[in-house]
Every structure is written in C-alpha cells, then in structure tokens.
Amino acid sequence: MAAITGVIPRPTSYAGLWGWITTVDHKRIGVLYGLTAFIFLIFAGIEAGVIRLQLASAESDLIGPGRYNEMFTMHATTMVFMVIMPLSVSFFNIVIPLAIGARDVAFPRLNALSYWIFLFGGVLMHMSFVVDQVPDAGWFSYANLTEKPFSVDRGLDYWAISLLVMGTSSVAGALNFIVTIINLRAPGMTMMRMPVFVWMTLITSLLLVLAFPVITVGLIELTMDRNFGTHFFIPAEGGDPILWQHLFWVFGHPEVYILILPAMGMVTEILPTFSRKPLFGYPFIVFSGIVIGIMGWAVWSHHMFTVGLGPVANSVFTITTMLIAVPTGVKIFNWIGTLWKGSIEFTTAMMFALAFIALFIVGGLSGVSHAVSPSDFQQQDTYYIVAHIHYVLFGGSIVAIFAGTYYWFPKITGKMLDETLGKLNFWLIFIGMNLTFFPMHFVGLNGMPRRIYTYSSEFGWEHMNQLASIGYIVMALGFLVFMYNLWQTRNSRRVSHDPWDAPGVEWTISSPPPPYNFAEIPQILGRDHYWIVKENAEAAGTPITGPEAQVDPSSIHMPSPSYWPLFTAIGVALIGGGLLSHYALSFVGGIIAMVGTVAWANEPPSAPSDHH
C-alpha cells in the first residue's frame, strides 16, 4: 500500500487553491462549511421567495401545485440539512478547538472527509433541479405518498440518497467532536469549566450519533421500497406508512434540538461578554441542556397527535412534551439573570443574541400550546405551526448564527464586520422576521392549512399573507446588507486579538490564529479563563496588551494536508450518484472510496518532509 501513497506525493503547501482543497486545518474547514452552507442558504431563500410570491394573493396562478410542492420541500430540506446544521458545524470547527485550548480536532482528515461528503451530498440533492425531478413530498416525506405509484419520478430517490450521503458526513463529524471535546481539552479545562458552547456541541454531537441511524434505517427502507420491490411502507402489500412517521420523528425531534442547542450555546457565550458579568447559573444551563438532550427522545409523537394513536399515547406525549418546556425555561431565566445588573453593550452580536432570547420566548410559548394535544388537533398542519417553527429555527437558530458570526468573525479573519452595517442588518432581519412570521399565527388559527399552493379569497387569509410576503422582502434586504458587510471587510483594518474583552480561551491568541493555534498549550485557570488571566495580570501591574507570542510553525508538530479525504469523498458521492443513474457508477465509487480509505490508513499523519 505504500506504493499507492507513494505514487502521488503528499501535498505540503498551505497556500492557494490546493492548500484549501487538501486542508485538514479545522479553521479552514470551518470556513468552507460556512461558505458552502451560506450558498445553500441563498438557494433556500430564493425558494422561500417563490413561496411568498405565490401566496401573496388568493387564487394565484404564478406557479402550479407541482412546482409549489417542490419549493417547500427543498426549502425545508435545504434549511435543515444544508444550512442550519452545517452552519452549526462551521462554528464547531472554528470555535471548539480554540475554546478548549487544542491545536486541532481529534481526527483532522476525518474532519475534511465530513466536509467534502457534505458538499457532494448537497450538490447531489440539487442535481434534482438539473434533471427536473425534484423532491416534492415535504421535508418529512410521509409514506406512502413517497411510494410508487404516487411519486413516480426520481425526486424522492434524490432526496433519500442525498440525505444518506450527508448523514455519513454528520455522524463522522459528530464522532470527531465528541472525541475532541473529551480528549483534547487543555490541562485545567475540567468538564465543569468548559464553555457552554462546548457543552452544547458535545450534547448535539451525541444526539447526532444516536439520531442519524434511525433516519438512516428509514431512508434505506424507503429506497428499497422504491427501487428494489420491498414494501416496508406500502399498505396494500402489508407495510405500514405509520412506521415511517415513527422512524422519522424519533430522529426528527432530537434533530430539532440538534438545530437549536448550538444556537443556545453561542448565545450563552455572547451574553456574558457584553454584560461584563459571568454567566448566571452555569451548572443549571449545562444540566438543562443535558436534560433536554435526554428528554428530547421521549416526545417524538407530539408531531403525530392527529395520526390516531389514541388518547393514552397522546396523554403520555402531552405530559412529556409539557415537561421539556421546563429546562428550556430554565435557560431563559439564566440568560436574563446574566443580563441582570450587568453593563450591557449593544454590539451587533449582542443585539442578535438578545433578539434570540426575545424571539425564542415566542417560539417556546407557541411550542407549549402544541403540547396541549386537544387544542393541537385544531392547529396541527396549519400556519400556526409554520409560525412556531420559524420562530425557533429562524428567530432561534439563524438569529443566533448571525450573533455568532458577528462575534467570532474578528477571531477567524482578524477583521471586524462593520458595526453600523451590522445594526442595519440586525433591524432589517428583526423587523422582517416578525413581519413575516407573526401574522402566520393568526392565519393558522383562522384555519389556513400548511402546504397549500392556493387558497380561496373567501377565507379571509389574504391580508395576513401579504404582510408575510412584505416581511420577506425586508428580511431579504437584511441578508443583502450582511453580504455587503462581509464583502467590505476586505479593505478594513486589522483588529486586536481580543476586541470584545472576552473571557474565552480563543481570545488569548492572535487573530487570525496561527495554523497551530497555541504555541504552548495553555493551563486553564477557570471558567472565564481569559478574564482571570487579564485580571491577574492587571493586579500584578503587567496588563496584557497583545496575543500570545507566535513561534516558528516548523517547531510544532501538526498534521499535514492530504488528498485522501477528498478522494474518498468523491467515491462516496459516486456510490450515491450511481444509485440515481447507472449502478456501474456505484461500483466505481465503491472502489474509489475503498482505495482512498486504505491509502489514507497507510498515510502517516505528517509528511516526512514536514517532520522534524
């Protein structure tokens, strides 16, 4: 096997395009994740725009029902699997090793593999637009609408196989972060000193590792049903469509927490910094996160209150769902407790973090109202639910990701996003989001079901829908301002290593950090490590003015770049692509993936030339 690895020389360059393609540096992979997810966000945003345009008037005939079903299916699938999850992973990558005082993740090449598989999975999903056989059964794709003869084209195959491909990426990534967090913490960084974002990453990763196998089973069964004549979900042949719903939501509800816990973690890092106060009730925030992670497994059937499981099952899931509101409430109290008596500075990051709390309260309250199953019988599958999920996923996850972007951008680039543009960005998003999603509560309670491409004017839903569509335009402007803000930083001046006077370990090193992060692995002094360091230095009369000193990179042993993660990922993508076109391609892909894996296994962590 050494022969294989010998044929292609090990890449050694960190510069240029090849430097990025072969990179195993967690910071660069984080940036790649972020940019890729942002491009998918633009796609999903355009799909949302088409939806809002279509619904802006009653009996609109802008697009037909077929196209409309494709739009909401791809909007949700993209936002969940290709935007919010990878954006969270982008922050895991950028922040976690820095925040725990590590030089990289535990498995740098596996990390690169995760990214490339995610990218190819996303591209594969969007190939469905190229062949115009787009998934159209919703992001939940309830059986047996997904079976033949009800879904004849390959749309659902694209959906299932792309998700299977991306699932491998998620599980690999999650395992990587579990091992990283457990094993690579700097000395002194005990579990109960870990930043809350690190805790939430750990819990999210555990949920991912446990939840993805469940959807994987469902997706494989669906693929088998559609292509190889099994009938797991076909009622006429003895299958059961309800089985799919259980599999989907046993995955799907923990997935909701996979989407929101990282957001909560980010906000929990930002609030103390800009209140100049340590986090209020750290152990309560951590334990409530753990409790959510555990209870999240016992509430899935609240998505299925109207399936007809009977009053006993509905009672159980009513009570468990009610109870999961408690740890969520605990977090909100502690965030407000952190603000209390603080000295709050209204940076853009802080404004987004505060908006997160305000909007998440709305989403949380409507969430409690769904838990009340008898009244949920009226609200299930109406716009009331659409309002709820957008308050938690947009008002929650996306707003928190904005907060995190404004907060950590100077660390990863060494440059500051413009604060004036940032405030404009904030207000456009905040106003637009409320204008779009708040009226949906009303239109839902007034009886408008979800996923309908047209409605009659006699129901009185038109004005609220127009309001929502106007809100979309305001939000879209907000995103444009954000993009311009990113663009204009190319000319902006460099900032100090610690522009926010932050407590986290990541702020002790220069911005952007050197490839090896820490010249010397730090000794962690406490929960708010850098505040303690700065305070001690102040007391000793030698205040800290700059980052840790940098050293000659060749004196530090770091993993070398590698071709093999990309090579293996191409193989994995071809396995999926082959199932959608020619099976022979799958065999080629399998061989490529196998060769890639073996070569990878035989490749030393560092190139000989890089050794010292």
Query: Which residues from 308-367 bind other proteins, rule CB under 8 A?
Result: 308, 311, 314-315, 318-319, 322-323, 325-326, 329-330, 332-334, 336-337, 339-346, 354, 357-358, 361-362, 365-366
User: Closest separation between CB of residue 433 and other proteins, Å?
Assistant: 16
CA separation, residue 605 to residues 384, 458, 527 (Å): 52, 68, 33
- Residues 6 or more apart whose CB falls under 8 angstroms from that of 547 comprise 497, 498, 508, 509, 510, 511
Binding mask 38-77 for other proteins (x = CB under 8 A): --------------------------xxx--x--------
Asked if 368 is part of the footprint of other proteins (rule: CB under 8 A), the reply reads yes
Q: Does 280 bind other proteins (CB under 8 A)?
A: yes
User: Which spans in 380-461 are helix H?
Assistant: 383-392, 399-413, 419-445
Q: Which is nearer to other proteins, 169 or 318 (CB)?
A: 318
One residue of 13, 183, 456, 488 binding other proteins per CB under 8 A: 456
Interaction of residue 446 with other proteins, rule CB under 8 A: yes
371 forms part of the interface with other proteins (CB under 8 A): yes
We find the least distance from the C-beta atom of residue 178 to other proteins, in angstroms, to be 20
Work out how close the CB of 331 gets to other proteins at its nearest, in angstroms, rounded to a whole number.
Answer: 11
* 577, HSE (Cβ side, Cα atoms, 13 Å): 19
CA–CA separation, 398 vs 339, rounded Å? 22
Per CB under 8 A, 144 contacts other proteins: yes
CB 205 within 8 A of CB 289: no
Decide: is 192 part of the binding site for other proteins (CB under 8 A): yes
- Cβ proximity to other proteins: between 9 and 64 the closer is 64
Segment (H or E) for 381: none
Pair of tokens at residue 91: 């922050």
Q: What is the footprint of other proteins within residues 157-176 (CB under 8 A)?
A: none
Judged by CB under 8 A, the number of residues near other proteins is 101
452 near other proteins, judged by CB under 8 A: yes
DSSP H helical ranges for 192-240: 196-228
The interface region with other proteins, picked from 79-87, 136-144, 176-184, 468-476 by CB under 8 A, is 136-144
User: Residue 475 CB, nearest distance to other proteins (Å)?
Assistant: 19
Nearer of residues 61 and 552 to other proteins, judged by Cβ = 61
**Helix locations, 415-555, DSSP H:** 419-445, 462-488, 529-539
Give, for 416, the enclosing helix (H) or strand (E).
Answer: none
Q: Left if phi > 0, otherwise alpha if psi is -120 to 50, otherwise beta: which for 240?
A: beta
Q: Pick from 5, 78, 373, 586: which binds other proteins (CB under 8 A)?
A: 373
Q: How far apart, in whole angstroms, are the C-alpha atoms of residue 142 and residue 252?
A: 12
Q: Which helix (H) or strand (E) holds 414?
A: none
502 forms part of the interface with other proteins (CB under 8 A): no
Could you tell me the two tokens for 116? Answer: 């490339």
> Rounded CA gap, 399 and 356, in Å?
6
Contact between 142 and other proteins (CB under 8 A)? Answer: yes
CB of 424 to other proteins, least distance (A): 19
Cα 433 to the center of its chain, rounded Å: 19
- Interacting residue with other proteins among 35, 182, 183, 459 (CB under 8 A): 459
Q: Does 145 bind other proteins (CB under 8 A)?
A: yes
Which pair of structure tokens corresponds to residue 519?
């010249």
One of 6, 213, 235, 605 touching other proteins (CB under 8 A)? 235
**Residue tagged 């980052």 (tokens):** 547
Which residue, 136 or 418, has its beta carbon nearer to other proteins? 136
Give the residues across from 382 on adjacent strands.
449
